[in-house]
Amino acid sequence: MEFRLIERIRARTMQGREDVRLGIGDDAAVLAVPVGQELVAAIDSMVEGVHFPVGTASADIGWKSLAVNLSDLAAMGAMPAWALLALTLPQAEPAFIEGFTEGFAELAQSYRLALVGGDTTRGALTVSVAVHGFVPPGQALTRSAAQPGDVIFVTGTLGDAAAGLHCLQANVQSSAHGDYLIGRLNRPTPRVQAGMALRDMAHACIDVSDGLLADLGHICVASGVGAEIDASLLPYSSAMLGLFDDVSARDFALGGGDDYELCFTVPAARAADTQANLARLGCGGTRIGRIVEGQGVRVRDAQGHWLDAVRRGWEHFSV
C-alpha cells in the first residue's frame, strides 16, 4: 500500500515547489537546498497510548505528528520546506487514513510544506515524521547560547496541553474551556513565524515539549547557566483560569508537557522590542524570568519564596 497512501497524502500537501526536483514515486526524493541556506533536520515519533491517547481522532494524529516536528524547526528559527512520513498502521482503514491525511495536510499547507517521501508498514500505530527546513548560515537558534542577564520569555500560554489531558483522563464534564484545552493537546500550534522572527533577537531557544522546567533545564545545561522563574508571571489561557486554580495551573505549566510553545532568552536591552514583535505575530511573548550565573532552574512565588521542586513533584523534571 506504500505508494497509494503516501501519494494520497502528498497530493494534499504543497505542490510544485521548485526545490523538489523529484518527489514521491522513486526510491528517494531529489531536493535542492536554496543557495546560501543551511538545512535544518529533525525526526520525531508518536506512538498510540504514549504520545496520544487511544481513541484520538485520526485527523488530530495527523496534525500533531507534523506539528511536533515543525515545533523543532521553529525552535531552531528554521523555515519549513519538506517532510518524510513513516506510518505504521494495524490495518489500512479508510476512515483513519482519510482523517490522518486531512489533519496532516491541513497543517502542511499552512507552511507550504511538501511531502517528499514516505513508507507505510503494518504494525502497532506509530507515526514518524522527519522534517527539513532552511536557515541562513550561522543563524540557527540553539539551546547553548543563553547568557547570565538574559530575560527568559515564552510564547503563548503554558500548561494547556497537560490540563487538556487531565480533562480527558478525569472525564471532566464537557465545556468550552475543556474543549479548548483538549484542542491545545491534540492540535498544538508550532510557533514557526515566532522562531524565524527570533533569529536576530534571541540568544537561546527551545520548544516546550517536556514541560517548562525540563526544557528550560536543557537550555541551562547546554549554556552552562542557571535560570530563575517568577511563577506569578507564567501566562495562562482563560480556559485554564476558568477551570483550574492557580496552584494547579502552575503545576501544569511547570511540569506538564506537549505545549509546543517556544522558551527563549534575549538580552535585557532587547526585551521590550521582543515583546512588541511577538505581539505583532499574534502569539504574544511573556517575560517569565531571567538567566543567572550557576545552574538549575528555580521558581519563586508571588511572595518571593523559592518553591520546593521536590515537594511539588517536579523533581524528575529538574536537571
How large is the angle between the packed helices 58-76 and 94-110, nearest 10 degrees? 30
Instruction: Name the burial class of residue 275, with classes exposed (0-12), middle (13-18) and buried (19+) by CB atoms within 10 angstroms of its CB.
Output: middle
Stretch that binds a copy of itself, among 102-110, 131-139, 178-186, 299-307 (CB under 8 A): 131-139
Which positions from 216 through 255 interact with a copy of itself, judged by CB under 8 A? 222
Stretch that binds a copy of itself, among 66-74, 102-110, 235-243, 275-283 (CB under 8 A): 66-74
Quick note: the x/- pattern for a copy of itself over 85-124, rule CB under 8 A, is xx-x---------------------------xxxx-xxxx
Q: Toward a copy of itself, which CB reaches closer, 206 or 239?
A: 206
DSSP 173-224: PP-HHHHHHHHHHHS----HHHHHHHTTT-SBEEE-SS-HHHHHHHHHHHHT
Residues sharing a CB contact under 8 Å with residue 245, sequence separation 6 or more, in sequence order: none
Q: Measured from the CB of residue 37, what is the shortest distance to a copy of itself in angstroms?
A: 9
Enter the C-alpha cell of residue 128. 514518524
Q: Toward a copy of itself, which CB reaches closer, 122 or 280?
A: 122
What's the distance, Cα to Cα, between the start and end of the chain in Å?
44
Q: Toward a copy of itself, which CB reaches closer, 31 or 234?
A: 31
Q: Is 51 in the site for a copy of itself (CB under 8 A)?
A: yes
Q: Is 319 in the site for a copy of itself (CB under 8 A)?
A: no
Residue type, 28: A
User: Of the candidates 181, 159, 191, which has an alpha carbon nearest to the alpha carbon of residue 262?
Assistant: 191
Q: Is 31 in the site for a copy of itself (CB under 8 A)?
A: yes
> What pairing do the DSSP bridges indicate for beta strands 262-266 and 151-155?
antiparallel
CA 308/CA 304 separation, integer angstroms: 13
Contact with a copy of itself (CB under 8 A) among 128, 157, 237, 265: 128
Q: Is 28 in the site for a copy of itself (CB under 8 A)?
A: yes
Contact with a copy of itself (CB under 8 A) among 1, 4, 11, 47: 47
Q: Is 39 in the site for a copy of itself (CB under 8 A)?
A: yes
Contact with a copy of itself (CB under 8 A) among 95, 137, 171, 245: 137
Residue type, 22: L
Contact with a copy of itself (CB under 8 A) among 44, 150, 160, 259: 44
Contact with a copy of itself (CB under 8 A) among 5, 14, 40, 291: 40
Q: Is 33 in the site for a copy of itself (CB under 8 A)?
A: yes
Q: Measured from the CB of residue 251, what is the shortest distance to a copy of itself in angstroms?
A: 23
User: How far is CA 74 from each of CA 40, 50, 71, 207, 306, rounded to the nearest angstrom?
Assistant: 10, 23, 5, 8, 32
- By CB under 8 A, the count of residues binding a copy of itself is 60
User: Of the candidates 250, 271, 51, 277, which has an alpha carbon nearest to the alpha carbon of residue 157?
Assistant: 250
Residues sharing a CB contact under 8 Å with residue 146, sequence separation 6 or more, in sequence order: 203, 204, 219, 220, 222, 223, 225, 227, 265, 291
Stretch that binds a copy of itself, among 20-28, 58-66, 105-113, 151-159 (CB under 8 A): 20-28
What residues does 287 pair with on adjacent strands?
Answer: 153
**Which residues of this protein are in contact with a copy of itself, per CB under 8 A?**
21-22, 25-33, 35, 38-51, 71-73, 75-76, 78, 82, 84-86, 88, 116-119, 121-124, 126, 128, 130-133, 135, 137, 140, 142-144, 206-207, 222
